[in-house]
Amino acid sequence: MKRPSIITVWTVCGLIWMPLLCFAQAASNELPSAAEMWRIIQMQQQQIEALTALVQANQTEVSSTRAELAAAQTEVARAQAEASTAIAELKATQQQVEATTLAVEAFGENHFSMPGWFERTSIGGYGELHANFNSGADNEIDFHRFVLFFNHEFNDWITLFSELELEHSVAGDDQNGEIELEQAFIRMDWSAHFNTDAGVFLMPVGILNETHEPNTFYGVERNNIEKYILPSTWWEAGLKGSYRTANGFAFDTVISSGLDLDGGDGYIRSARQKVSQATNDEAALAARVKYSGIAGLEIAASVFYQDDLDQTGDADYSGLLSTAHIDYSAGGFRIRALYARWDLSGDITADAEEQYGYYIEPSYRWNLSEYYGDLGVYARFSDYEYYKKGLQENKVYEIGLNYWPTNNVVFKLDYQDTNDADQYEDIDSVINLGVGYQF
């Protein structure tokens, strides 16, 4: 193998070393100086120090945050504990309030621990003051009725109903007034549909005889048909049975003490004995059928029969009372009409054999406001004949108004034309004022 020449060697070396020398030269040209290196190092040192400080600051902040978080967690735990305590206290308070309320309610119901009878006894009443301004006669003012009800429930099906009345303010000898026991009966509710009344009770006739509180009818004075023909207020002693149906029918039957009518007098109203040491030789029978199955409507008819009306006298005559009425209201409009007649048969004056009467009464009631109450106007025509020492023939025309500031209080004003009425004699007309109440 031929040996390479020196020129070739040197050429090859040169070719090799020339790039290296060039590279080295280039490299020796980019290297910073020592001062620059020191400056760079210092800059880097500053950056390191800054970064270190930043890291330290972050570490501090993290530590603080951790501390705050721990404190917050502690606070939350404490608040939860307090809330639990508050909830427990609230529940305890609610239980205390419930117990207190029950105790207060029971205390109130027991009426301060009064005996049980007090809870089952109730008191009510009504009253009315009348002022009559008569054209042709003296005027009059009179507290006509002061009435108290006393009711007592012996148990859930036996009840006492009673009514005591003072008429004309003062009772006694030579006084105008009377104290009367109008009702005192024991009601027994045998079923939801049937009950009996035993004692002194109002006869089931007419409209006003059983319901006559002053705020329930128009006119200061009660209508004359029910006063002189029925004769309201009429009560007897005996036994009454009442049966009601779900479709609005009611049936009443009565066996009771009777009237005692002096034949010569023939005045039905005076025949009421009022169960005051009353003669009881003749029982009386009464019956009524009533329908009120339509809201606002009442239709009824009743009969009363007594075989001998003159119990204490020598005359012998029977008496049959027949009545019928309708009472209808729709909204503010109302109409009442009633017919009643006595047929007396036997040893009685001819003029007294038939005594009858009827009235018709339309009315309208407005509600003024919830606060001021209601105002009503009415008109009534009454035509009636009754016997009192002679036949009394009467036609009365009247108009008037009622004002109810509240349902249980009433003020009344009416005008009666009595010019065609025998009973009023010289009185041509009457203006009546009245105030009444019920509670």
Partner 1 sequence: MYSYRTILGVLIYILCGHSVHAIEQVYLEPEIFIAQSFDDPPEQKILWLTKEVKVAIKAIIGHDYPGLRIRYWQQGGRTAWILEEIGKVKPITTGFVLEGDEMCAMRVLIYRESHGWEVRYPFFTDQFTGLRLDASNRLNKPIDGISGATLSVNALTRLSKLALYLHRKTQAQ
296: alpha, beta or left? (left if phi > 0; alpha if psi -120 to 50): left
Q: Under the criterion CB under 8 A, does residue 101 sit at the interface with partner 1?
A: yes
CB 84: neighbour CB atoms within 10 A? 10
Q: Under the criterion CB under 8 A, does residue 122 sit at the interface with partner 1?
A: yes
Q: Under the criterion CB under 8 A, does residue 292 sit at the interface with partner 1?
A: yes
Residue 351 makes CB contacts below 8 A (sequence gap 6+) with 266, 387, 390, 391
Number of residues this chain uses to bind partner 1 (CB under 8 A): 55
Name which of 226 and 298 has its Cβ closer to partner 1.
298
Stretch that binds partner 1, among 70-78, 168-176, 238-246, 392-400 (CB under 8 A): 238-246
Q: Under the criterion CB under 8 A, does residue 248 sit at the interface with partner 1?
A: yes
Residue 284 makes CB contacts below 8 A (sequence gap 6+) with 236, 238, 254, 255, 256, 257, 258, 259, 304, 305, 306
Name which of 183 and 224 has its Cβ closer to partner 1.
183
Q: Under the criterion CB under 8 A, does residue 250 sit at the interface with partner 1?
A: yes
Contact residue for partner 1 among 159, 224, 394, 418 (CB under 8 A): 159
CB 25: neighbour CB atoms within 10 A? 9
Q: Under the criterion CB under 8 A, does residue 310 sit at the interface with partner 1?
A: no
Count the residues in the chain: 439
Report in angstroms the alpha-carbon separations of 304 from 248, 284, 405: 23, 7, 39
Q: Under the criterion CB under 8 A, does residue 108 sit at the interface with partner 1?
A: yes
User: What is the C-alpha to C-alpha distance for residues 395 and 354, in angstroms, rounded to an integer?
Assistant: 17
Buried residues in 287-325 as b, exposed as e (16+ CB within 10 A): ebebbeeeeeebbbbbebbbbbbbbebebebbbebbbbb
Contact residue for partner 1 among 131, 171, 186, 239 (CB under 8 A): 239
Contact residue for partner 1 among 191, 314, 350, 426 (CB under 8 A): 191
Structure tokens at 72: 């917050």
Structure tokens at 109: 């119901």
Name which of 253 and 270 has its Cβ closer to partner 1.
253
Q: Under the criterion CB under 8 A, does residue 87 sit at the interface with partner 1?
A: no
DSSP 103-131: HHHHHHHTTTT--HHHHTEEEEEEEEEEE
Contact residue for partner 1 among 130, 145, 187, 341 (CB under 8 A): 187
362 prior amide bond cis, ω within 30: no
User: What is the C-alpha to C-alpha distance for residues 432 and 401, in angstroms, rounded to an integer?
Assistant: 11
Q: Under the criterion CB under 8 A, does residue 419 sit at the interface with partner 1?
A: no
Instruction: Evaluate whether 261 touches 268 at the Cβ level (below 8 Å).
Output: yes
User: What is the C-alpha to C-alpha distance for residues 268 and 357, in angstroms, rounded to an integer?
Assistant: 13
Q: Under the criterion CB under 8 A, does residue 405 sit at the interface with partner 1?
A: no
Q: Under the criterion CB under 8 A, does residue 285 sit at the interface with partner 1?
A: yes
Alpha-carbon radius of gyration of the chain = 53
Question: 428: closest CA among 412, 413, 416?
Answer: 416
Q: Under the criterion CB under 8 A, does residue 373 sit at the interface with partner 1?
A: no
Contact residue for partner 1 among 270, 329, 349, 423 (CB under 8 A): 329
Q: Under the criterion CB under 8 A, does residue 14 sit at the interface with partner 1?
A: no
Contact residue for partner 1 among 10, 118, 154, 194 (CB under 8 A): 194
Q: Under the criterion CB under 8 A, does residue 345 sit at the interface with partner 1?
A: no
Stretch that binds partner 1, among 26-34, 48-56, 324-332, 337-345 (CB under 8 A): 324-332
Structure tokens at 57: 């600051």
Number of Cα atoms under 13 Å in the Cβ half of residue 300: 24
Q: Under the criterion CB under 8 A, does residue 409 sit at the interface with partner 1?
A: no
Contact residue for partner 1 among 89, 179, 407, 415 (CB under 8 A): 407
Name which of 241 and 313 has its Cβ closer to partner 1.
241
Name which of 338 and 430 has its Cβ closer to partner 1.
338
CB 233: neighbour CB atoms within 10 A? 23
Stretch that binds partner 1, among 203-211, 226-234, 341-349, 417-425 (CB under 8 A): 203-211
Contact residue for partner 1 among 137, 184, 198, 283 (CB under 8 A): 283
Contact residue for partner 1 among 131, 293, 375, 379 (CB under 8 A): 293
Q: Which residues bind partner 1 (CB under 8 A)?
A: 101, 104-105, 108, 122-124, 149, 151, 153, 156-157, 159, 161, 187, 189-192, 194, 196, 207, 210-211, 215-216, 239, 241, 244, 246-248, 250, 253, 255, 282-283, 285, 292-296, 298, 307, 327, 329-332, 370, 406-408, 438
